[in-house]
Amino acid sequence: MPNFNLKNQSVLIRPRITEKAAIGADKSNVYVFEVAMNATKPSITASVKASYKVTPIKVRVATIPDKAVFVRGKRGVKRGGKKAYVYLKKGDKIELL
């Protein structure tokens, strides 16, 4: 059962601005966001509608695995997360910067 009780602001954490995400936004009209771990596709869709006033066609979700790091002689873990690919119609745009 999806959790529709999430606040719209708490679902989307930040846009994921990388070279690959910028190319996807230009060519395919796909935007990438870091989202909360308990976010679902319907809650992400509702959050994008409320925040950016556009309706996504499709939302795909991927988990980012944890990564072992070695910094200053100590081992640690860089926490992963969850990201969402938001597909928009041909004429729609999201201004991220």
Report mean pLDDT in 10-residue bins for the chain, 97 residues: 59 93 92 95 94 94 96 94 95 83
Predicted TM-score (pTM) of the model is: 0.83
C-beta atoms surrounding 51 within 10 Å: 14
pLDDT of 68: 96
CATH number for region 8-87: 3.30.70.330
At residue 9, the pLDDT reads 63
Calculate the alpha carbon distances from 84 to 3, 14, 65, 76, 89 in Å. Answer: 16, 11, 14, 26, 16
The pLDDT value recorded for residue 96 is 75
Burial class (CB within 10 angstroms; exposed 0-12, middle 13-18, buried 19+) of 69: exposed
